[in-house]
Amino acid sequence: MTAPDDVDPIAASLRRQFSPPALDELHERIAAEAGRRPAPPSTATSRAPGRWAVAAAFAVAAALVLWILRPPPNPKPATPPIPAVTEDPEAPVLVPPTRARRAGAELDGFLDRGDRLPATSGALVAPEVCDTEAGHPQLIADAGIVLVGECGGMTQTPCAAHDLPADRAMLVRLASGEHAILCIERPWTDPRPELPEDSDYRVFRSELGDYVIYEVTPASGPEASQLLRL
């Protein structure tokens, strides 16, 4: 029987040229090829920027939502109807308005608003008199001045409840029909009221026995305080 190589010499030559190498030689070639190629970048490193970008986007979105949903700022409190603060000439600091200016502002505001005091009848006695042997100030009857209302004294209605800085106060109607206030003070409760510069009223101070009397009136002079008697 004739051998295949003898029958086809060309096929035999091709098999010799393209026959696979030995196993050891193949391993050596694979190792050499692997050493020439650089290592691929780490999968964790290549994915890190993506995670940071997502986290940053969520942080920006959360901050935007909090800014939109923030509560509105509290409105500024209303300015109280008292004189502005003044600077104490004795010290370089701001101090509250003096008692005299505050008292004057409250008296002016009471008359300007047309406020009223509780109506009274009969003679009222002050709860505490300066001189126990003396009487207490009362208006002369039928003198043209009408007592409209009163606070303090024995009325059981403190004047502070009506924003009046007085120990005892009388609201009177003058002969002109306008209203005035008579403040009856003891020396140790004297507020020495100072009306605001733009006030439409005037304040007149006088003394009656051990009492200090203030008449706050739209008139050019005192009328009601001259009709007070002990």
- Please report which confidence band the pLDDT of residue 139 belongs to, taking 50, 70 and 90 as the band edges: confident
| Whether the model pTM is above 0.95 | no
How many CB atoms are located within 10 Å of the residue 147 CB? 19
Helix (H, G, I), strand (E, B) or coil at 230: coil
**Token reading at 48:** 């890190």
Higher pLDDT, 69 or 221: 221
- Check whether 163 has a pLDDT greater than 70: yes
- Check whether 189 has a pLDDT greater than 80: yes
Q: Where are the domains of the chain?
A: 4-68, 99-229
The DSSP secondary structure of 31-58, one letter per residue, reads HHHHHHSPPPPPHHHHHHHHHHHHHHHH
| Integer CA distances (angstroms), 39 to 33, 100, 157, in order | 12, 91, 97
For the chain, percent of residues with pLDDT exceeding 90: 30
- Please report which confidence band the pLDDT of residue 125 belongs to, taking 50, 70 and 90 as the band edges: very low
- Least confident piece of the model among 68-72, 74-78, 96-100, 115-119: 74-78
**For the segment 67-95, what is each residue's pLDDT rounded down to a tens digit?**
666 666 665 555 455 544 444 455 444 44
What would the mean pLDDT of 193-214 be, rounded to a whole number? 93
